[in-house]
């Protein structure tokens, strides 16, 4: 009798039960899973960081082209990353680039790196890792060739001459894209004062 009642219940309620995905509320309207919500939020955050809001910036000066990190490379092919047609066309030309200064423990006078989102590179201690993106740009500041470039938190806008091609740099890395700042573009760094490092509680 118990088996008969169970079979009758499944026959009557089966179409309703199996027509809804697991975890969906009653009424036939499915709600996104926690993983779907997390993936959507992460995608939105990464997109907003890698695609700066150009409407918040004034038009670039005459002769200067806006460039974004997402425009550096084309689709990955058999040879790996390849420069995009836009980046090749802009080689040697003045561009404007918006990004975040990479915060590094070991720094080199006269240069720093710029990334599309905030990045910190730890090279000392037990946990060492370099999670810099492939699109990180070596920014050359000739006016600071004899001293460290002061770190500036937050989003910064830089204008300078873009260079491409692999080249070994003074920081021990090989650069693929470089931005050379002129005197006007380097002015905020030559007049800035290096802030005191945050206290860690360990003296």
pLDDT in tens, 113-142: 999 999 988 776 666 667 788 899 999 998
pLDDT at 65 over 90: yes
Most confident of 45-49, 56-60, 61-65, 80-84: 61-65
pLDDT tens sequence across 73-120: 987 767 778 999 999 999 999 999 999 999 988 889 999 999 999 998
The domain tally of the chain equals: 1
Q: With respect to residue 35, please indicate whether it lies within any of the assigned structural domains.
A: no
Task: Kindly report the CATH number assigned to the domain that includes residue 118.
Answer: 2.40.50.140
Question: Is 182 contained in some domain?
Answer: yes
Asked if pLDDT for residue 173 goes beyond 50, the answer is yes
Q: Is residue 23 part of a domain?
A: no
Instruction: Give the structural domain span for 111.
Output: 50-190
Is 1 a domain residue?
A: no
178 falls within a domain:
yes
Q: Which of 29-43, 156-170, 188-202 has the lowest mean pLDDT?
A: 188-202
Structure confidence at residue 42 (pLDDT): 58
Q: How many CB atoms lie within 10 A of CB 108?
A: 16
- Tens digits of per-residue pLDDT, 9-21? 444 444 444 444 4
Whether 79 is covered by a domain: the verdict is yes
Indicate the SS3 state at residue 52: coil
Angstrom distance (rounded) from CA 76 to CA 121: 25
């Amino acid at each position: 009798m118990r088996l008969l009642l169970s079979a009758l219940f499944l026959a009557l309620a089966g179409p309703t039960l199996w027509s809804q995905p697991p975890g969906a509320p009653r009424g036939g309207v499915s709600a996104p899973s926690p993983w779907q919500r997390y993936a959507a939020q992460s995608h939105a955050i990464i997109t907003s960081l890698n695609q700066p809001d150009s409407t918040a910036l004034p038009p670039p000066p005459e002769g200067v082209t806006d460039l974004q990190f997402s425009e550096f490379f084309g689709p990955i092919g058999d040879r790996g990353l390849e420069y995009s047609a836009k980046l090749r066309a802009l080689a040697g030309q003045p561009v404007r680039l918006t990004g975040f200064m990479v915060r590094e423990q070991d720094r080199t006078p006269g240069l720093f790196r710029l990334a599309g989102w905030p990045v910190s590179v730890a090279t000392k201690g037990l946990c060492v890792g370099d999670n810099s993106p492939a699109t990180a740009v070596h920014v050359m500041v000739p006016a600071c060739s004899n001293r460290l470039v002061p770190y500036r938190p937050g989003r910064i806008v830089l204008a300078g001459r873009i260079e491409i091609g692999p080249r070994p740099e003074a920081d021990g890395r090989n650069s693929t894209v470089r931005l050379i700042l002129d005197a006007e573009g380097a002015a905020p760094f030559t007049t800035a004062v290096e802030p005191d490092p945050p206290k860690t509680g360990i003296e």
